[in-house]
């Protein structure tokens, strides 16, 4: 952890919450007979949280691409 400069608290929190999230996802999939849309798009709050999670993953990945497009437009 020192080599990668990971904070200890965040790592422990990730391990604990990761296990809890995995157990609850497994439980939800069992209840819905394996249907992901029923789990993630069941109510408005889950839709909002899913969109926020996807945006937080996609925006950092898209930022270098958007910068390269802006640089090309200036020429």
State CA 44 to chain mean position distance.
17
pTM metric for this prediction: 0.51
Predicted confidence (pLDDT) per residue in 9-25, tens digit? 888 888 888 889 889 88
Q: Going by C-beta distance under 8 Å and a sequence separation of 6 or more, which residues neighbour residue 8?
A: 1
Predicted confidence (pLDDT) per residue in 14-67, tens digit? 888 888 988 988 888 888 888 777 777 788 888 898 899 999 998 888 777 777
Sketch the domain layout of the chain as residue ranges.
Answer: 1-34, 43-75
Eight-state DSSP code of residue 16: H
User: What pLDDT was estimated at residue 55?
Assistant: 92
User: Using an 8 Å Cβ cutoff, are 43 and 50 in contact?
Assistant: no
User: What pLDDT was estimated at residue 75?
Assistant: 55
């Amino acid at each position: 952890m020192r080599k990668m400069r990971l904070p200890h608290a965040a790592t422990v929190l990730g391990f604990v919450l990761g296990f809890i999230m995995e157990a609850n996802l497994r439980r939800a999939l069992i209840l819905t007979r394996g249907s992901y849309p029923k789990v993630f798009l069941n109510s408005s709050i889950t839709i909002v949280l899913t969109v926020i999670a996807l945006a937080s993953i996609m925006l950092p990945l898209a930022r270098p691409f958007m910068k390269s497009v802006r640089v090309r437009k200036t020429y």
